[in-house]
């Protein structure tokens, strides 16, 4: 029989994970729900689809933020900010993070490397289509907006929603791994997709969770995620626009 403090801790560990899974399911159906909204603000079908999807995403994000606050108000107040951008992080040689490195150095270097990898991957997707690069003149502001909202929403759900309520209950590395797995699994159907997409998303989720935990804020997590979305959403905009 599980009683006392251990039972209480298990309850508080399971809850944020369960809510994140629930919100993930909501995101998987956000595309279908967005079609029912059917807002048309552009002649570009991709832009209309993204507007409807982002509305659903932001609604789910709002619920997630409220739930995260209720699960642990004290931790939430610590993490729901840009945090200490130059905080010193723990060593992690696998990602080139050395002892004494600040997140100002780590965030910039990881941002450049991860963005470059994403750009290379998306380049091979874009080159298969007869792209009209001039379309960016009319789509760039939408691409930036969608990248901001998409990255913010996913960071609130998969990073803040895990790191904030679980800090102090389990080891940091375990928190990072949970965030990585929960972020990676739905990317089987993302872009990039399949095993490669899920693995890359999982690695990204791990790094971003570490950044949030160690800086007490979401600045680096949001910024690095935003850069990836900027490339991915921009590429998808070009591909879909070329097909119209």
- The least confident of 51-65, 84-98, 141-155, 217-231 is 84-98
Residue 229 contacts residue 150 (beta carbons within 8 Å): yes
CB 110: neighbour CB atoms within 10 A? 21
The angle subtended at Cα 130 by Cα 127 and Cα 133, nearest 5°, is 85
DSSP state of 190: S
d(CA 41, CA 117): 33
Q: Which pLDDT score is estimated for 198?
A: 87
Confidence of residue 2 (pLDDT cuts 50, 70, 90): very low
Averaged over 186-198, what is the pLDDT? 78
% residues pLDDT > 70 (the chain)? 95
Q: Which pLDDT score is estimated for 8?
A: 63
| pTM: predicted TM-score of the whole model, two decimal places | 0.92
Structure tokens at 166: 């679980």
Query: Domain total for the chain?
Result: 1
d(CA 27, CA 16): 16
Which of 162, 143, 145 minimizes the C-alpha distance to 23? 162
% residues pLDDT > 90 (the chain)? 67
DSSP state of 157: I
Q: Which residues pair with 147 in a beta bridge?
A: none
Q: Which domain holds residue 209?
A: 4-243
The DSSP annotation for 206-219 comes to HHHHHHHHHHTSSH
The residue written with tokens 């993930």 in the block is 24
């Amino acid at each position: 029989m599980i009683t006392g403090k251990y039972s209480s801790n298990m309850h508080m560990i399971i809850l944020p994970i369960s809510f994140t899974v629930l919100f993930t399911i909501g995101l998987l159906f956000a595309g279908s729900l967005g079609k029912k909204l059917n807002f048309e603000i552009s002649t570009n079908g991709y832009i209309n689809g993204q507007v409807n999807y982002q509305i659903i995403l932001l609604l789910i994000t709002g619920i997630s933020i409220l739930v995260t606050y209720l699960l642990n108000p004290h931790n939430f107040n610590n993490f729901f900010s840009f945090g200490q951008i130059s905080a010193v992080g723990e060593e992690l040689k696998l990602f080139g993070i050395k002892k004494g490195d600040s997140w100002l150095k780590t965030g910039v270097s990881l941002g450049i490397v991860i963005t470059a990898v994403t750009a290379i991957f998306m380049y091979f997707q874009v080159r298969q289509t007869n792209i009209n690069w001039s379309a960016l003149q009319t789509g760039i502001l939408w691409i930036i907006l969608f990248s901001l909202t998409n990255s913010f929403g996913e960071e609130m759900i998969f990073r803040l929603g895990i790191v904030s309520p679980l800090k102090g209950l389990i080891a940091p590395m375990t928190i990072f791994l949970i965030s990585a797995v929960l972020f990676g699994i739905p990317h089987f159907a993302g872009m990039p997709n399949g095993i490669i997409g899920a693995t890359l998303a999982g690695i990204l989720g791990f790094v971003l969770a570490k950044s949030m935990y160690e800086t007490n804020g979401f600045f680096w997590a949001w910024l690095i995620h935003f850069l990836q979305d900027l490339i991915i959403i921009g590429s998808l905009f070009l591909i879909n626009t070329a097909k119209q």
